[in-house]
Amino acid sequence: MATSPSANPSSVEPTSKGNKTILVAEHAGFCHGVKRAVENTLKLGDESDKKVYVIGKLIHNQQVIDQMGEKEIVTVSSLDEVPAGSICVVRTHGAPPEIVSQAEAKGVDVSDATCPDVRLVQNKAIQLAEEGYTVVVVGKEDHPEIVGITAHAGEVNGARIITINHPDDIKARLQGLPTRRIGVVSQTTQMEETFFQMVKELSKVAKELKVFNTICPATYFRQNAAAELASKVDFMVVIGGKMSSNTTHLADLCKTEGTQAIHVETYKELEGCQGLMDAKVVGVTAGASTPDWIIEEVIDYLKSL
């Protein structure tokens, strides 16, 4: 895992003008799965004599995607845009299995950058489906990670799999499905509180409940570090892509601590932020798809205030 500079939340990093104290969360920035995917894809672009394409954003960080574009690694929306004789990278969130088989049939080489933690969820969902459970995936139905998980488990003969993102939706989403035996997995970036609340409510429905807590360790560590830091500062700066679920959850978590927080992709979005200007102690955290250089730019900006 890559972390940002001065990553110990107990350390004090005063600005050059001495106006603010800046504290950085213990866990922030690239997780191991994202780091692996970005490094391997960039290496592929540098070393392969074939054109490299990624179906969907490799990670939810537009600045990294732009960097890849500068290296002629092309992000596309579907396999139809990937020509034969090229390389197709499966994004960190994973992909439905038919994408790989269709690519290979088309004469496209496949490089799988699926995060190992996401692969674990896919395998646990498949296991539950094979064991005959009605599979509940806790997460956002249209998120690419969830699309991949449900597609993999859906290949099991007779599989029953549903996505639920809020306890209030349990009754409606399970209508018409067998509920005696329910198996549960989670989107890797889900908030722990939401996941455990879902499990509690599902336990009232099922006679037998089998649960795999598949929230990835990086998400757990970032959420706990962000909450701890938010309780010590006047204002939180949360850095990461606006489409990044794990970063959005970090911002929401900071706010539940009663601390003002702003979710930004780059330091430019901090300009003119009155809450930041008024704060004496500022906390900084970042989602798992945020590179060090963006975190460093934000910290440099904060030092200039």
Helix (H, G, I), strand (E, B) or coil at 153: helix
Q: List all residues 6 or more positions away from 288 whose beta carbon is below 8 Å from its beta carbon.
A: 29, 30, 31, 33, 34, 189, 218, 219, 222, 240, 244, 246, 247
Largest CA distance in the chain: 65
Q: Could you give the residue numbers annotated as active site? A: 145
Whether 116 and 33 have beta carbons less than 8 Å apart is answered as: yes
Q: List all residues 6 or more positions away from 204 whose beta carbon is below 8 Å from its beta carbon.
A: none
Give the Å distances, CA to CA, from 180 to 132, 133, 289: 11, 8, 38
Across-strand partners of 75?
54
Rounded Cα distance between 3 and 295, Å, is: 9
> What's CA 81's distance to the chain center, in Å?
25
Q: What angle do CA 218, 298, 46 make, to 5 degrees?
A: 65
Whether 214 and 122 have beta carbons less than 8 Å apart is answered as: no
Q: What angle do CA 78, 83, 88 make, to 5 degrees?
A: 60
User: Residue 4 has which token pair?
Assistant: 């940002």
Q: List all residues 6 or more positions away from 73 whose beta carbon is below 8 Å from its beta carbon.
A: 41, 42, 44, 45, 52, 53, 54, 89
